[in-house]
DNA sequence: ACACACTATCTATAGATATAGTTAGTTGAC
DNA sequence: GTCAACTAACTATATCTATAGATAGTGTGT
């Protein structure tokens, strides 16, 4: 259900085509949301029908054309309303911890690989986000600059600070996961060492 | 795709009906997985057809009957194989951080409510898991005791330690989220305080 | 002229998930 | 005896998501 709002969020900065949005979902926003184009195009059409977006056909080369979507005042209102609505914390679906809870079923080598993969994944994420923050602080982030340019001056600081805050939260989470992974590796080693009943 | 393995994990302890499993998914395993009965029953039938489970009709009262599913050797093998297969880290879908990144769109009071709800949610989780660990250490956890009784003696320590490790990871994560939420509250306060440009 | 990478969009299908409601038997309280 | 709460299972529907592939135009290089 949040795909719609992720799209609105991006479109508050500037009008974009489905293709542009799909690309964003592979990069910048990918930190919190991902969606394939096959989900994006239909959703955009639906949102246009509900007049949250205005579609404009623009030509591209001699024969080509594309559809650019622009957020409407209704779209802005819908986004703002979503932003003012409390989130539902419902589903819990965590394959990593599901596996971790039954790690005694895995070969020690496979168990180590799980933990190492977890560490690697979150190390990679942490690096991405650290870079993102650097981009925000150094004002080299293109998307953010466009956003700030379209933001009333008195709101710019908040806009920037909340984004940094978000990335910092993600970095903190990644670090917690890395630490847990390292703990896991130590635990696996200690449990698979040949007989250490003594204590 | 992991629903199947969550079910297998539970059924390695003892045979259960769909109803039993659905109840577990509302409580004990709910920490990592949730699924409604409308998803569980069809999946059980499917797994029985693939002979990962054996279904046995048992009567209940004078006219009633129910189906109890028992994991088969093939089921155990499938579960073990899953446990030895690396996890895919793919989708990223995080409505909380999506909202956080655009918090300047929310009323300060709504922004505070988001953060407070985040803190409350993870505080509740942390309490649950702390209790779980106490149950594991004190051997008062019924499910675990059954599991340990069905586990070869040399594997018992691993079985216990991995579960504690899993809950500790979830506690650590909850604490990171709580800390982030508190930071968020402070940030909102500082940003919505009437004009503090100086510094 | 052709190959190639890229932009742009759409369709189909399968599977996962959420929400809701239906049917029917059991058990225990009043 | 009948009501309520619980146990047991199923069905329907809608939406969400993933994967794959189809179609077609653009722009660049050779």
Residues B105, A80: contact at Cβ < 8 Å?
yes
- Side-chain-side CA neighbours of B90 within 13 Å: the count stands at 6
Q: Tell me which chain A residue has its CA closest to the CA of residue B2.
A: A95
* Residue A71 CA: distances (Å) to CA of A6, A53, A121, B141: 12, 5, 35, 53
Residues A135, A141: contact at Cβ < 8 Å?
yes
User: Alpha-carbon distance B180 to B125, whole Å?
Assistant: 15
Q: Is B91 on the interface with A (CB under 8 A)?
A: yes
- Write out pLDDT tens, residues A99-116: 999 999 999 999 999 999
Asked if residue B12 has pLDDT above 90, the reply is yes
Among B1, B25, B55, residue whose Cα is nearest residue B10: B25
Q: Which nucleotide is nearest to B88 (CA to C1')?
A: D18
pTM score, whole prediction:
0.92
Q: How far is B97 from chain A (nearest CA, A)?
A: 6
Within 7 Å: CB of B95 and strand C? no
Which of the 10-29 residues on chain A come under 7 Å of nucleic strand C at their beta carbon? 17-20, 22-23
Q: DSSP secondary structure string, A102-161?
A: TGGGS-HHHHHHHHHHHHHHHHHHHHHHHHHHHHHHTT--HHHHHHHHTS-HHHHHHHHH
Q: Is B133 on the interface with A (CB under 8 A)?
A: no
Q: DSSP secondary structure string, B154-191?
A: HHHHHHHHHHHHHHHHHHHHHHHHHHHHHHHHHHHHHH
CB contact under 8 A, B83 and A91: no
Mean pLDDT of B14-38: 87
Q: Which nucleotide is nearest to B17 (CA to C1')?
A: D8
CB contact under 8 A, B161 and A94: no
Which of A31-45, A69-83, B20-34, B137-151 is the most confident on average? A69-83
- Write out pLDDT tens, residues A49-91: 999 999 999 998 888 899 999 999 999 999 999 999 999 887 7
A108-137 and A153-192 are packed helices; what angle lies between their axes, rounded to 10 degrees? 160
CB contact under 8 A, B113 and A86: yes
| B145 or A4, greater pLDDT | A4
Residues B65, B58: contact at Cβ < 8 Å?
yes
Interface of B with A in 92-111 (CB under 8 A): 92-107, 110
Task: Report the range of poorest mean pLDDT among A87-96, A174-183, B189-198.
Answer: B189-198
């Amino acid at each position: 259900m949040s795909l719609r709002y992720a799209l609105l969020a991006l479109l508050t900065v500037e009008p974009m085509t489905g293709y542009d949005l799909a690309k964003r979902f592979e990069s910048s926003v990918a930190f919190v949301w991902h969606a394939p184009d096959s989900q994006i195009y239909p959703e955009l059409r639906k949102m246009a029908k509900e007049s949250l977006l205005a579609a404009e056909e623009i030509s591209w080369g001699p024969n080509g054309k594309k559809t650019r979507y622009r957020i409407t005042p209704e779209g802005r209102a819908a986004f703002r309303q979503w932003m003012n609505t409390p989130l539902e914390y419902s589903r819990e679906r965590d394959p990593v911890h599901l596996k971790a809870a039954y790690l005694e079923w895995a070969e020690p080598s496979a168990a180590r690989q799980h933990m190492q993969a977890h560490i690697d994944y979150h190390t990679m994420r942490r690096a991405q986000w650290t870079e993102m923050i650097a981009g925000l602080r150094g004002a080299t982030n293109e998307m953010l600059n466009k956003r700030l340019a379209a933001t009333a001056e008195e709101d710019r600081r908040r806009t920037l600070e909340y984004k940094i805050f978000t990335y910092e939260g993600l970095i903190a989470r990644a670090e917690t996961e890395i630490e847990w992974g390292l703990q896991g590796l130590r635990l696996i080693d200690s449990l698979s060492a040949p007989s250490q009943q003594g204590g």
